[in-house]
Structure 1
């Protein structure tokens, strides 16, 4: 089979490998669609991987082609998405079904080979079964949709809250759409890339700000009658985004830390002082909730996408075969053209 492997920082190479065989409690999934995550870009070009070679890709869907021992053969041919975190099922967090808190987990596309490949072996535990007529390209978006949903659920949104989101990439846009589904009043999107803000307007968002063109804090205050946003989602991973989120937060409001940091995060004394006096809350959010009653965010995200309550298809800006996926990494890194969500699609 063909794979696209990361062999060193900035080095992506196509390789031929044997098709892996599923063991007990595993299945072989034929990849149908897999997305490039924003975190894949620094992993490829800056921070590096845990080991080399590594096949990236943790947002994916496919079809079960083969099963290992102790797996019911009748699921062959079923469409699935895949929860990419493989828990140890031994630690106290796994015992409580907080799998994203697992102290000894593995991860497709990060700690072990992922989905930029024709096939991948997946534990049966990690399968999210889809409807027979599910769109597998849209279903490859379930992972970022679940992460976005987790951020909004961590915000404990109240009806008619105003929400501001710093960072208008695919995750930020999905957070915005979840916020409206959860009853938000105004959802404000902020970015420094004109192409992203133009795109957000083109898909129907009314309140969009380019922070390079106008002061985002003043803009948020103007949109919220000088109160600030009840919920601020920091999705940029930058000090400026974090400082702006703290400053545009309402008294007794909430700041949710969602973005992956690009370096040390610092705040000024003035920002610290003003935020402290608001008695507002800062909360981190990471990954998503899986197989836990009453809210399995993967099931909820899959259902919302299938029913098109959560729109994701319009976020897919590029669909490419595996042989063109390498080029897309460099296109994203160099900003050669506008991209929102890039999918490897295996037709």
Structure 2
């Protein structure tokens, strides 16, 4: 088969390699679509992965074309989405079915071979059958959508009914835009979003955000903008989707007394917290939560099933955020666009035809 193989940082080539043979508890998935995640960029060009050589890519979907000896034959020929985290099954979080917090996990596309290929071997337990009408491109966005839903549900757990709450999102990359989409779907009406690209304004407009509820932080003081629109009080629920010191501090400063904060953005560097900001957490009795990955337990109430239902019912349309579609053999073009930021993009998708 053909696959993009990362030999070392900044050394990834599209080449012939051996087609994987599924183990007894695995299936072989013919990859139909694979999205590039922001985390794939440093992995491909700077830091490398946990092992080399490796096929990266963890946002993908496809069709089951072979089953291991212990796999239920029902999977043969099924269109599937794939949860990329492979839990150990024995640690404390795994015993509670909190697989996203597994202490000793494997991971498709960063610790073992992933989806930038024609075929991938995937554990049966990591499969999610796609309902009729859900496309492979939509399914290749299940992972970032589930991450967004996981963050949203964290916010709901902290803040309760958010349909009447003032909610803010700072950071409109893929996760921030998908979070915007799901919050609108959940009935949030008073939603303020802060970004730093012209294209982001267009995307949030398509998601139903009025122009006056979008702030371009390059052009105005976003903190002052948000406080003005919340009558100097701040928001009830704040999603920080950037991962920088300044936006973490703004999340605290712009939250209303008794408000809630969900930290979503992966950190760019070490975090420091000034004394005055810490005091605001205490004195305003803020509820603060981190969020990581998404819940996939196989039950109907996990994040992935939430997303699939929303797709099947036509409530959300993540494909609107696909800005580039490339044949798999041209995927390096997409990786380079994201590395060099030569074009506006949200989700760049590689497809096997």
Once the 2 structures are TM-superposed, how far is the Cα of residue 316 of structure 1 from its aligned partner? 0.6
Q: 255, 262, 268: which one pairs with 2:261? A: 255
Once the 2 structures are TM-superposed, how far is the Cα of residue 313 of structure 1 from its aligned partner? 1.2
Query: How far does the alpha carbon of each residue in 1:126-182 deviate from its partner, in whole angstroms, 9 at most, with x for none?
Result: 000012442111111111111100001001242311111111112101111222233
- Structure 1 position 195 matched with structure 2 position 170: no
Contact 2:261 2:287 in 1 (8 A): yes
Query: How far does the alpha carbon of each residue in 1:21-48 deviate from its partner, in whole angstroms, 9 at most, with x for none?
Result: 1121110000001111111122223333
Q: Which residue of 2 aligns with 1:267?
A: 273
Q: Which residue of 2 aligns with 1:139?
A: 139
Q: Which residue of 2 aligns with 1:165?
A: 169
Q: What is the rounded CA distance, in whole Å, between the counterparts of 1:105 and 1:130 in structure 2?
A: 25
Q: Secondary structure at the match of 2:47?
A: coil
Contact 1:65 1:76 in 2 (8 A): yes
Once the 2 structures are TM-superposed, how far is the Cα of residue 240 of structure 1 from its aligned partner? 1.7
Once the 2 structures are TM-superposed, how far is the Cα of residue 292 of structure 1 from its aligned partner? 6.0
Once the 2 structures are TM-superposed, how far is the Cα of residue 202 of structure 1 from its aligned partner? 4.7
Once the 2 structures are TM-superposed, how far is the Cα of residue 234 of structure 1 from its aligned partner? 0.8
Contact 1:161 1:183 in 2 (8 A): no
Query: How far does the alpha carbon of each residue in 1:77-126 deviate from its partner, in whole angstroms, 9 at most, with x for none?
Result: 11000011101111222121111111111001111111000000011100
- Structure 1 position 98 matched with structure 2 position 102: no
Q: Which residue of 2 aligns with 1:82?
A: 82
Contact 2:56 2:116 in 1 (8 A): yes
Q: Structure 2: any 5+ residue segments left out of the alignment?
A: none
The residue correspondences of 1:185-264 to structure 2 (distance < 5 A) are: 185-206=189-210, 207-264=213-270
Q: Secondary structure at the match of 2:278?
A: helix
Contact 2:184 2:208 in 1 (8 A): no
Q: Secondary structure at the match of 1:309?
A: coil
Q: Which residue of 2 aligns with 1:10?
A: 10
Q: What is the rounded CA distance, in whole Å, between the counterparts of 1:274 and 1:95 in structure 2?
A: 36
Query: How far does the alpha carbon of each residue in 1:218-263 deviate from its partner, in whole angstroms, 9 at most, with x for none?
Result: 1111222222111111111111221221211111111111111111
Q: Which residue of 1 aligns with 2:45?
A: 45
Q: Structure 1: any 5+ residue segments left out of the alignment?
A: none
Query: How far does the alpha carbon of each residue in 1:32-77 deviate from its partner, in whole angstroms, 9 at most, with x for none?
Result: 0111111112222333321222211111110000111022334211
Q: Which residue of 2 aligns with 1:183?
A: 187
Q: 307, 314, 317: which one pairs with 2:323? A: 317
Contact 2:65 2:76 in 1 (8 A): yes
Kindly tell me: are residues 276 and 42 of structure 1, through their superposed partners in 2, closer, same or farther at Cα, counting changes over 3 Å?
farther
Q: What is the rounded CA distance, in whole Å, between the counterparts of 1:201 and 1:253 in structure 2?
A: 26
Once the 2 structures are TM-superposed, how far is the Cα of residue 269 of structure 1 from its aligned partner? 3.1
The number of residues matched between the two structures is 347
Once the 2 structures are TM-superposed, how far is the Cα of residue 338 of structure 1 from its aligned partner? 0.7
Q: Secondary structure at the match of 1:190?
A: strand
Once the 2 structures are TM-superposed, how far is the Cα of residue 186 of structure 1 from its aligned partner? 1.4
Q: Secondary structure at the match of 2:277?
A: helix
Once the 2 structures are TM-superposed, how far is the Cα of residue 200 of structure 1 from its aligned partner? 2.5
Q: Secondary structure at the match of 1:55?
A: coil
Q: What is the rounded CA distance, in whole Å, between the counterparts of 1:247 and 1:169 in structure 2?
A: 22
Q: What is the rounded CA distance, in whole Å, between the counterparts of 2:29 and 2:290 in structure 1?
A: 33
Structure 2 length as normaliser, TM-score? 0.94
